[in-house]
Structure 1
Amino acid sequence: MSLQKLLGLIAVALVSACSTAPVTEQTAVPVPSERIYQPSYFGTASNVAGATVVFLRDSGLFGAGCSHNIYVDNIKVFSIRNGEQAVIHVPAGQHFYRLETGVGPCPNIATSQESSISGGAKQVYRILLPSDGSLRLTRVE
């Protein structure tokens, strides 16, 4: 193998190691109870006015040492790490979701989304940290 090909393979490996990979509801592990700050969000959607919101955090090495805090309507609800998911229940209506990092060896970065959800509905959000370092909270469903 030529030196040029070897350097190309190393470059591809380094770039791919710096990005995160999506997880699914089937492959992600639940956020452990010690990082749940508002357990009332984690019950069941108790009536037809309740709605379900799922947060899935990508897996991968980039940002692996960081916890991300999730706020719902300015209330800190849980912290999530690589390859984890949190399934919460909120009343139908308008909600504000804020994602912050800065816990562990990570810089202080925040992003947010505002969303309206109907009773009985489900929304799914992906949390990713691309290789450019910009934290993202993206609705995928």
Structure 2
Amino acid sequence: MKIMQNAAGAVWVALGLMALTGCGVTNDHDKITKDVVSNRQFLYQAPGDGNATLQVVRSNGYFGGGCSSQILVDDKFAASMEPGEQATFYLPSGAHTVSLRNSGACHKVSNDAHVDTNLAAGETALVQVNKWGSSLSLAKR
């Protein structure tokens, strides 16, 4: 009987130690950005001569995890993005409007959730969707 009590105690000690080892693990969730999966990017996927590059990055974070950000380029549905994803679009040079719509549990996107850009051939622009999926910002590289 004493042996069974000691074994049960050892099991509880081992389980407690295993539970505590997870506390020291770092979480890279907010640091990793991956490419949007191919079945959720619909337009401007192939580079061509004279194209400009538009990279859209959806910030990572636990907020906004229940929603998808729908990216529109010139009023055309170009991609659906989740937190921590990025999409690269190869656009003809010239003026373009990038807009944002949400689906899922996100709060409403404001009417001005769009950015206008004028890209020359070979130029790259970065558009960032915030972690809540509610706004866009433009930063040229």
What TM-score results when the alignment is normalised by the length of structure 1?
0.71
On the 8 A contact 2:56/2:129 being kept in 1, the answer is yes
Aligned length: 109
Tell whether 2:45 aligns with 1:42: yes
Q: 1:99-135: CA deviations, max 9, x gaps?
A: 111x1112331410111000000001111046xxx82
Given the alignment, which residue of 13, 32, 35 partners 1:30? Answer: 35
2:97 aligns to what?
Answer: 96
Give 1:61 shift.
Answer: 0.7
Residue 60 of structure 1 aligns to a residue whose secondary structure is coil
Residues 14-93 of structure 1: pairs in structure 2 closer than 5 A: 27-38=32-43, 41-44=44-47, 46-47=48-49, 49-93=50-94
What TM-score results when the alignment is normalised by the length of structure 2?
0.71
Q: 1:37-95: CA deviations, max 9, x gaps?
A: 33xx0111x11x21000011111111011100000110001011110000011000000
Counterpart of 1:51, as a letter, is A
Looking at structure 2, the residues matched to 50 and 37 of structure 1 have their Cα atoms a distance apart, in angstroms, of: 17
Question: Structure 1 vs Structure 2: percent identity of aligned residues?
Answer: 27
List 4+ stretches of structure 1 deviating above 3 A.
Answer: none
CA RMSD of aligned residues (A): 1.7
Structure 2: any 5+ residue segments left out of the alignment?
1-29
1:107 aligns to what?
Answer: 107
Tell whether 2:115 aligns with 1:116: no
Counterpart of 1:116, as a letter, is N
